[in-house]
């Protein structure tokens, strides 16, 4: 079976283009072909973009923003450290989970 | 607010990704999706994200062979994907909503990724009880407690009350009572 795809350069990292903050941009990934869509589903049926979209839609602006200002977070995302500084773990009880308020 | 912390960090990293050469991948673990949420599917979801819309030939070939990917297959593909990118951020929300028996394998796989690509950054959230198992795999992990702030709680409740489906059943006294009661209960947790 002739594969027109065999000449494709192996390129990663296009993932950023639909990463952003524009509402509804998470559900609109369009693949080049049916096969591409099938490959994506084969890799995983999970759709974290959709979940992210619904979590952020339920978010209240400002809540939890303090974390983004902490030096721990900035040092971690600065990424200058090696493997030892690779992991940041935020722990807490679920607090005012939306399930508790319904 | 389930996923709140992670969603903020993910958005903030995605903002950064527009300016800088980083790629952000994430998975929200969910009690309600335990069947789908295998380690293989979690790693596969991260890989999907890193691959973006240009599927590499090795992945295409593996798909055309027609068998389900196993964890070693995905880890190999992930290693190749990560090595080809300047820097990768991986966020896993709610480790406690992963089956306890799966957690060691998940954390072990993430540890393998870091050993291979030490610049990779990993953001994890979970209830306090998973701290111990996280430490087992990442002894130097920085841990930040994220107990809800009383002001955050009040603001969030006000927002939810504003969206109340039956505003005619609400009055100022009831509203105040709801906010105070929940704030008190939260601070006693």
Q: Is the pLDDT of residue A98 over 70?
A: no
Q: What is the pLDDT of residue A15?
A: 40
Q: What angle do CA A59, A60, A61 make, to 5 degrees?
A: 115
Q: What is the pLDDT of residue A96?
A: 43
B29 or A28, which is more confident? B29
pLDDT band at A16 (very low <50, low <70, confident <90, very high): very low
DSSP assignment of B86-121, as one string? S-EEEEEE-GGGS-TTTHHHHHHHHHHHHHH-TT-E
Q: What is the pLDDT of residue A86?
A: 95
Please compute the mean of the pLDDT values over residues A63-83 and round it to a whole number: 86
CB A55 within 8 A of CB B88: no
CB contact under 8 A, A88 and B130: no
B188 or B56, which is more confident? B56
User: What is the total count of domains within chain A?
Assistant: 1
Instruction: Summarize pLDDT for B106-138 with one digit per residue, the tens.
Output: 999 999 999 999 999 999 999 999 999 999 999
Distances (CA, A) of B30 to A48, A95, B33, B110, B121: 11, 16, 5, 19, 22
Please compute the mean of the pLDDT values over residues A32-59 and round it to a whole number: 91
Please tell me the distance from the alpha carbon of residue A95 to that of residue B101, in angstroms, as a whole number: 25
Instruction: Summarize pLDDT for B128-176 with one digit per residue, the tens.
Output: 999 999 999 999 999 998 876 677 777 778 888 888 888 888 888 988 8
Residue B89 touches chain A, beta carbons under 8 Å: yes
Q: Is the pLDDT of residue B181 over 80?
A: yes
The two structure tokens encoding residue A88: 């940041």
DSSP, res B32: G
Which residue in B has a C-alpha nearest to residue A75's C-alpha? B142
Percent of chain B with pLDDT over 70: 95
CB contact under 8 A, A21 and B119: no
Considering chain B, what is the average pLDDT of its residues? Answer: 90
Q: Is the pLDDT of residue A11 over 60?
A: no
pLDDT band at B101 (very low <50, low <70, confident <90, very high): very high
Q: Is the pLDDT of residue B13 over 80?
A: yes
Q: Is the pLDDT of residue A9 over 60?
A: no
Please tell me the distance from the alpha carbon of residue B115 to that of residue A83, in angstroms, as a whole number: 7
Residues of chain A found within 8 Å of residue B108, distances taken between Cβ atoms: none
Considering chain A, what is the average pLDDT of its residues? Answer: 70
CB contact under 8 A, B48 and A6: no
Please tell me the distance from the alpha carbon of residue B155 to that of residue B74, in angstroms, as a whole number: 42
Please tell me the distance from the alpha carbon of residue B186 to that of residue B151, in angstroms, as a whole number: 12
pLDDT band at B53 (very low <50, low <70, confident <90, very high): confident
Q: Is the pLDDT of residue A66 over 50?
A: yes
Domain range holding A39? 4-101
Q: Is the pLDDT of residue A92 over 60?
A: yes
Q: What is the pLDDT of residue A38?
A: 94
Please tell me the distance from the alpha carbon of residue A40 to that of residue A29, in angstroms, as a whole number: 11
CB contact under 8 A, B157 and A19: no
Classify residue B85 as left (phi > 0), alpha (psi -120 to 50) or beta. beta
DSSP assignment of A48-95, as one string? HHHHHHHHHHTPPTTTTTHHHH-HHHHHHHH--S-GGG-EEEEE----
Please tell me the distance from the alpha carbon of residue B137 to that of residue B130, in angstroms, as a whole number: 11
Please tell me the distance from the alpha carbon of residue B6 to that of residue A55, in angstroms, as a whole number: 9
The two structure tokens encoding residue B47: 């890989």
Window A:12-31, CB contacts with B under 8 Å? 12-17, 19-21, 29-31
């Amino acid at each position: 079976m002739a594969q027109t795809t065999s000449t494709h350069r192996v390129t990663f990292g296009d993932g950023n283009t639909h990463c952003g903050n524009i509402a509804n941009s998470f559900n609109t990934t369009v693949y080049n072909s049916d096969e591409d869509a099938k490959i994506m589903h084969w890799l995983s049926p999970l759709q974290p973009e959709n979940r992210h979209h619904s979590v952020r839609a339920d978010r209240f602006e400002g809540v939890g923003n303090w974390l983004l200002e902490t030096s721990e977070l900035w040092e971690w995302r600065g990424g200058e450290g090696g493997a030892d500084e690779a992991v940041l773990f935020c722990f807490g009880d679920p607090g005012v989970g939306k399930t508790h308020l319904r | 607010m389930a996923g709140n912390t992670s969603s903020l960090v993910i958005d903030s990293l995605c903002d950064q990704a527009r300016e800088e050469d980083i790629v952000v991948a994430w998975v929200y673990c969910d009690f309600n999706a335990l069947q789908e949420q295998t380690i293989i599917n979690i790693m596969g979801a991260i890989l999907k994200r890193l691959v973006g819309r240009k599927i590499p030939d090795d992945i295409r070939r593996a798909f055309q062979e027609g068998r389900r990917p196993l964890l070693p297959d995905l880890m190999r593909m992930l290693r190749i994907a990560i090595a080809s990118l300047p820097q990768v951020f991986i966020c896993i929300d709610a480790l406690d909503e992963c089956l306890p028996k799966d957690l060691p394998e998940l954390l072990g796989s993430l540890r393998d990724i870091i050993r291979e690509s030490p610049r990779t950054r990993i953001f994890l959230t979970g209830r306090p009880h998973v701290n111990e198992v996280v430490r087992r795999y990442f002894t130097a992990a920085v841990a930040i407690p994220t107990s809800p702030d009383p002001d955050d709680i009040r603001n969030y409740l006000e927002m939810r009350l504003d969206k109340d489906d039956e505003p005619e059943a609400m009055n100022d006294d009831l509203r105040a009572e709801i906010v105070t009661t929940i704030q008190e209960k939260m601070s006693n947790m």
